[in-house]
Amino acid sequence: MERSNALFASAVAYAYLVASGLKVVTSPEQVRELARLVKSGEASVDEIARELRQWSL
């Protein structure tokens, strides 16, 4: 369940960026990697935000 929640959160972040009108360029691998970092607790909020900014043009 925890793994699914992190992956779902990453997918929601992607959808939010798209709904906000941003052009999003990412791969399933990047979405999974972000979910892995979130689940493991290895990433700070700033690092997550930095990763999400890299997803958009």
Say what the pLDDT of residue 39 is: 85
| Model confidence, pTM | 0.71
Per-residue confidence band for 2, with pLDDT thresholds at 50, 70 and 90: low
Q: What is the mean pLDDT of the chain?
A: 85
Read off φ and ψ for residue 56, nearest 5 degrees. Answer: -115, 155
Instruction: Look at residue 1 and tell me whether its pLDDT is greater than 80.
Output: no
Say what the pLDDT of residue 19 is: 94
**Dist. CA 38–CA 19, nearest whole Å:** 22
Axis crossing angle, helix 28-40 with helix 2-19, rounded to the nearest 10: 130
